[in-house]
């Protein structure tokens, strides 16, 4: 499905979010500000690489690697981006390889949420930062919640058909969003995996959340402060 919409994916994201997606990517990158200049950052579900690019622009000299399950998406990423095809449920990296792990609109698509989160935590160094940008089941209060459901369930599929030529994919988007766990539940799961300093930042009337956390422990390389 993501392969079918790869060429229109970025345009649709900008249209659906009313142009806010670029600002949200900068917020994710900003969550990594405390990382050292030599940081290694993994972008899981990198897609066309927009989030990885934002991280590279925000930080000074990091090594950013983007991985994704969908090869047609990876082919559209910027030429200079380090990228590889990989399964988010079985990341091809040893434990503790990255100072930061980020994802944008990935985790609700995982076939096994617990395993996918555990993999991201596994490859994170002690003291490292995890940042997850994801849609939520929607604003908790009426009438905003009603408008949210109307927009996502009725207008977004129509827009998907007109712009991307694929109403099915953009029917999946709202349905997967509405089935996903709420931010408080995601926070609880991250704490259960041993992460600390978990913080949830709600945006766009609570329809999008940036969840950040830190892996318990201290950096393994002398002199680094995370």
Query: Which pLDDT belongs to residue 218?
Result: 64
pLDDT for residue 111: 95
Report the distance separating Cα 125 and Cα 42, nearest Å: 11
Give counts: helices (H), strands (E), the chain.
9, 7
DSSP string over 171-187: HHHHHHHHHSPPHHHHH
Mean pLDDT, consecutive 10-residue stretches, the chain (226 aa), reads 88 90 96 91 96 91 92 90 95 97 96 97 97 88 80 85 87 88 96 97 92 83 40
- What are the chain's domains? 6-137+181-215 (3.40.50.150)
The whole-number pLDDT of residue 225 equals 39
Cα–Cα distance for residue pair 190/37, rounded to 1 Å: 26
Neighbour-count burial of 80, counting CB atoms closer than 10 A to its CB (0-12 exposed, 13-18 middle, 19+ buried): exposed
> What pLDDT is attached to residue 157?
87
217: left (phi over 0), alpha (psi -120 to 50) or beta: left
pTM: 0.90
Cβ–Cβ < 8 Å for 200, 181: no
């Amino acid at each position: 499905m993501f392969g079918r919409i790869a060429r229109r994916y970025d345009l649709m994201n900008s249209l659906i979010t009313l142009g806010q997606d670029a600002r949200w990517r900068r917020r994710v990158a900003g969550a990594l500000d405390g990382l050292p200049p030599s940081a290694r950052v993994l972008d899981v579900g990198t897609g066309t690489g927009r989030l990885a690019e934002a991280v590279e622009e925000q930080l000074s000299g990091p090594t950013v690697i983007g991985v994704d399950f969908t090869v047609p998406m990876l082919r559209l990423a910027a030429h200079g981006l380090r990228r590889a095809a990989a399964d988010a449920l079985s990341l091809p990296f040893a434990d503790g390889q990255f100072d930061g792990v980020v994802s944008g609109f990935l985790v609700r698509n995982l076939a096994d949420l617990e395993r996918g989160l555990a993999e991201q935590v596994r490859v994170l160094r002690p003291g490292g930062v995890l940042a997850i940008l994801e849609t939520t089941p929607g604003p908790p209060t009426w009438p905003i919640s009603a408008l949210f459901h109307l927009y996502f369930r009725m207008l977004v599929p129509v827009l998907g058909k007109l712009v991307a030529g694929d109403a099915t994919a953009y029917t999946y988007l709202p349905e997967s969003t509405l089935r996903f766990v709420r931010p408080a539940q995601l926070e609880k799961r991250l704490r259960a995996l041993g992460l600390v300093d978990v913080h949830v930042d709600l945006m766009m009337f609570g329809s999008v959340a940036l969840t950040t956390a830190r892996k318990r422990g201290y950096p393994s390389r002398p002199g680094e402060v995370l």
